């Protein structure tokens, strides 16, 4: 039986022991991160940094796909090779972030909705010609007094579903990213309640828009207490709360769940992913990672904008990718951080 383009992309992205590198930071976000290591953010420094990441020797042992920002999708390497081709030549699938960021809603203080549906079909067709095989759309939900409100959960879920349906109409695999933020002092129980409501609404909308669940990936938050909560949770407690929530809300047809790191430290994101996989047993989904800062932060610090530090930056990235690969298999231990 012939495998469709989306089926092949799913198989590639969910390859055993591998995860997805999120390198789709906006120009504004990259400016902040480069500034933190004393590097001026220019089109060239952003290209140089990302090319260094993508050419890390052996990256394809741990990374199955990379989410790109639009600027990066259009850039070429120092040797004049399109950056998406650098990835695909290694068997790493290029993808693209397609949402246009969030906007506050005046009637719902603290709530935000994600923009970018206008002209999405045309943009996706262009991205596909440049080599993108999958896409990503992020919606964010803040926990606070009276928020997230149901109307905002509903409108974001509707946008995620419309985006996913448009992607699949063009044979592009959609990554659906509903993120309940860590910001705040809420308990793990409150996070579980909100995450469950968000996921229930998202999958209701996906079903309504006839999105083929077997041809999509989910990129959710883990169920965590707020970063300012007085009672933090162990990796085992996070694993139990997360899996309970997922069993209640996520259909078994979804082939893969790639967690976002969402502001967790590098080590915490790895330890929590490991605990989830240890606890999961024979759950129906692939439970992997799609980390940005939790993979890149050590690499950026080691690189520091200097060509002479390229190898050190690549080694830092490979270490975190390898540790998260082990965590995706439930084989990580904190002692490995010092190896």
Tell me the whole-structure pTM to 2 decimals: 0.96
Tokens for 1? 């039986």
Average pLDDT, the chain: 96
The pLDDT assigned to 52 comes to 96
Looking at the structure of the chain, the number of domains it has is 1
Query: 339: burial class by Cβ within 10 Å (0-12, 13-18, 19+)?
Result: exposed
* Region of poorest pLDDT, from 251-265, 294-308, 311-325: 294-308
Say if CB 19 and CB 290 are below 8 A apart: yes
pLDDT by residue (tens digit) across 117-146? 999 999 999 999 999 999 999 999 999 999
CA 158 to centroid of chain Cα atoms: 20
Percent of the chain with pLDDT strictly greater than 90: 93
Give, for 66, the enclosing helix (H) or strand (E). strand 63-68
The rounded distance, in Å, linking the Cα atoms of 254 and 263 is 25
Is 177 assigned a catalytic role?
A: yes
Dist CA 145 CA 293 (whole Å): 28
Whether residue 1 is predicted with pLDDT greater than 60 in this model: the reply is no
Contact yes or no for 209/164 (Cβ under 8 A): yes
Q: Which domain covers residue 99, as residue numbers?
A: 5-338
Calculate the CA dihedral of residues 100, 130, 167, 197 and round it to 10 degrees.
-40
pLDDT tens-digit series, residues 174-222: 999 999 999 999 999 999 999 999 999 999 999 999 999 999 999 999 9
Angle at CA 275, nearest 5°, toward 270 and 281? 130
Band (pLDDT 50/70/90 cuts) for residue 295 is very high
Selecting among 70, 158, 177, 179, the annotated active-site residue is 177
* Whether the Cβ atoms of residue 161 and residue 202 lie closer than 8 Å to each other: yes
Mind listing the pLDDT tens digit for each residue in 4-22?
A: 999 999 999 999 999 999 9
Out of 97, 112, 136, 219, the active site residue is 219
pLDDT tens per residue, range 82-112: 999 999 999 999 999 999 999 998 788 889 9
Q: Quick check: 31 pLDDT over 60?
A: yes
Burial, 237: exposed, middle or buried (Cβ in 10 Å; 0-12, 13-18, 19+)? middle
Q: Which two tokens stand for residue 122?
A: 């045309």
**What 3-state DSSP class applies to 148?**
coil
Give buried/exposed letters for 95-107 (b at 16+ CB in 10 A, else e). Answer: bbbbbbebeeeee
CATH number at residue 89: 3.20.20.70
Whether residue 32 is predicted with pLDDT greater than 80 in this model: the reply is: yes
């Amino acid at each position: 039986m012939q495998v469709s383009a989306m089926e092949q992309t799913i198989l590639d992205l969910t390859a055993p022991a591998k995860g997805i590198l999120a390198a789709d930071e906006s120009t504004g976000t990259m400016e902040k991160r480069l500034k933190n290591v004393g590097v001026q953010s220019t089109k060239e420094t952003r290209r140089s940094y990302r090319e260094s990441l993508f050419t890390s020797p052996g990256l394809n042992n741990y990374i199955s796909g990379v989410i790109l920002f639009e600027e990066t999708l259009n850039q070429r390497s120092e040797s004049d090779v399109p950056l998406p081709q650098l990835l695909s030549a290694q068997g790493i699938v290029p993808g693209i972030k397609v949402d246009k960021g969030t906007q506050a809603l005046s009637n719902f203080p603290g709530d935000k909705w994600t923009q970018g549906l206008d002209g999405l079909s045309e943009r996706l067709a262009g991205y596909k010609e440049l080599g993108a095989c999958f896409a990503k759309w992020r919606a964010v939900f803040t926990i606070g007094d009276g928020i997230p409100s149901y109307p905002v959960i509903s409108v974001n879920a509707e946008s995620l579903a419309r985006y996913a349906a448009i992607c699949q109409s063009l044979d592009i695999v959609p990554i659906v990213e509903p993120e309940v933020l860590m910001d705040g002092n809420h308990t793990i129980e409150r996070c579980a309640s909100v995450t469950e409501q968000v996921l229930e609404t998202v999958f209701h909308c996906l079903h309504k828009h006839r999105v083929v669940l077997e041809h999509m990936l989910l990129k959710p938050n883990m169920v965590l207490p707020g970063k300012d909560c007085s009672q933090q949770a162990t990796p085992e407690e996070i694993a139990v709360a997360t899996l309970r929530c997922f069993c209640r809300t996520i259909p078994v047809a979804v082939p893969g769940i790639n967690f976002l790191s969402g502001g967790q430290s590098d080590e915490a994101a790895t330890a929590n992913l490991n605990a989830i996989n240890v606890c999961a047993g024979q759950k129906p989904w692939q439970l992997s990672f799609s980390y940005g800062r939790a993979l890149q932060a050590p690499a950026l610090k080691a690189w520091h904008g200097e060509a002479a530090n390229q190898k050190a930056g690549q080694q830092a990235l490979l270490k975190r990718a390898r540790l998260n690969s082990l965590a995706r298999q439930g084989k990580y231990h904190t002692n490995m951080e010092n190896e």
